[in-house]
Amino acid sequence: MSKKKLWISVIGGLIIIAIIINFAIGYYLYDLAIARNVKDFLSGNKDLEVSAEAMDVFTAGDWRDWVRSQDFAVWELESFDGLTLKGYFLEAKKPTNKVVIFAHGYLGRASDMGLFGQHYYEELGYHMFTPDLRGHGKSEGDYIGFGWHDRLDMVAWIDRVIAELGEETEIILHGVSMGGATVLMTSGENLPENVKGIVADSPYSSVHDLFSYQLERMFHLPEFPILPTTALVTKLKAGYTFKEASALEQVKKTEVPILYIHGSKDTFVPTPMTEKLYDATNSEKELFIVEGASHGESIVLDKEGYLRTLYRFLETYTN
């Protein structure tokens, strides 16, 4: 064998090995972050550390007892791709046409949104509906949609809420973290006029942007070629790609007013992502940055400011 052919064989072999390794990493990252399974890779992540005050509220706040004491009705829905999804409806104490639909965060569940729902229910008199997103809680699904397929689930839940409560129903969508991105992705769909406003707390601009950021920050790995390969694996196994799962592109199309909320010290979903979303939004919009707050803890560190801003937004866009 000539030296030229030898080098071609060596280079070709190295390329094949590199491709195999790249796909192995892609499958590993899919299983790590997207497949529905037990996940402990976020344990000890400093970007998710919150203040002692916030941790106390999240883990042992009175709102947890409040959730357990409520008589939620269990609703079921078949998704566009045949999954059985579960949601939980709490009828308001007095007759009203207002309802909040929540979207929880990554690895969360419907009941987590009681932290916010208690205020809507007790102080504003809203009905409350909070679903387990696909791949979470008691809803079916073997993958996490990161908001993209969930947006279609949310549209279906919106239709269900209107069917149950009537055509005069006024709806607010409120999501946190992955749930914040979910309601923003929902915003770009053909929504009924019943949806009066959206509250997005700590959302990411797109799944691609989030994973690119986390690849470098958590694993010190380059975006290329790992992220395109992981996106391809996700397309094959879950039916969506990272770039198409874009809240940024969806808010460019929406006509629904949006309230953006983010902590100034959020390093898990960096604050500039919300600022980018805000700038891209063509509908009525408002931005509330909570100084010193980390990921998802704005409601605790500035509860008064959070609720004041939220209530003013709701008063502006509901009747």
- For the residues 255-263, what does the mean pLDDT come to? 98
Average pLDDT in the 71-99 region?
A: 98
In the predicted model, is pLDDT for residue 213 greater than 80? yes
Average pLDDT across the chain, whole number: 94
Mean pLDDT, range 253-278, rounded to an integer = 98
Residue 142: phi, psi to the nearest 5?
-100, 10
Same domain membership, residue 256 and residue 181: yes
Q: Which domain holds residue 105?
A: 48-206+245-317
Domain-embedded: residue 288: yes
- 117 shares its domain with 6: no
Q: What is the pTM of this model?
A: 0.95
* pLDDT tens-digit series, residues 161-175: 999 999 999 999 999
Q: Quick check: is 39 in a domain?
A: no
pLDDT of residue 32: 93
Q: What 3-state DSSP class applies to 141?
A: coil
Q: What is the CATH number of the domain that holds 156?
A: 3.40.50.1820
Distance between CA atoms of residues 180 and 198, nearest Å: 9
- Does 216 share its domain with 153? no
Of residues 222 and 174, the one with the higher pLDDT is 174
* Nearest Cα to Cα of residue 235 among 171, 313, 149: 149
Q: Say yes or no: 6 and 81 in one domain.
A: no
pLDDT at 42 (0 to 100) = 80
Q: Do 21 and 112 lie in a common domain?
A: no
CA distances from 194 to 162, 166, 169, 180 (A): 8, 10, 6, 19
Name the nearest CA neighbour of 101 among 115, 84, 109, 89.
89
Is 41 contained in some domain?
A: no
- Phi, then psi, of 302 in degrees rounded to 5: -140, 65
- Decide if 266 is inside a domain: yes
Q: Is residue 17 part of a domain?
A: yes
pLDDT band at 99 (very low <50, low <70, confident <90, very high): very high
The pLDDT of residue 19: 74
* Same domain as 164, residue 232: no
Residues 134 and 157 in one domain: yes
Structure tokens at 200: 């997005």
Q: 197 and 290 in one domain?
A: yes
C-alpha pair distances (Å), 110 with each of 159, 213, 245: 19, 27, 22
Are 132 and 169 in a shared domain? yes
Are 99 and 215 contained in the same domain?
no
What is the model's pLDDT at position 14?
A: 63
The residue assigned the tokens 């004491």 is 69
37-71, pLDDT tens digit by residue?
A: 988 878 778 888 888 899 999 988 999 999 999 99
Query: Same structural domain for residues 278 and 129?
Result: yes
260 within some domain: yes
Q: Is residue 163 part of a domain?
A: yes
In this structure, is residue 78 part of a structural domain? yes
Length of the chain: 319
- Which of 239, 262, 283 delimits the end of a domain? 239
**78 & 17 share domain:** no
Nearest to 201 by CA among 72, 296, 86, 119: 296
C-beta pairs of 118-125 under 8 Å, 24+ apart in sequence? 118/63, 118/66, 118/67, 119/307, 119/310, 120/172, 120/174, 121/90, 121/92, 121/93, 124/98, 124/311, 124/314, 125/92, 125/93, 125/94, 125/96, 125/98
Domain boundary among 239, 257, 282: 239
Residue 284: closest CA among 249, 319, 246, 314: 314
Q: How many domains does the chain have?
A: 2
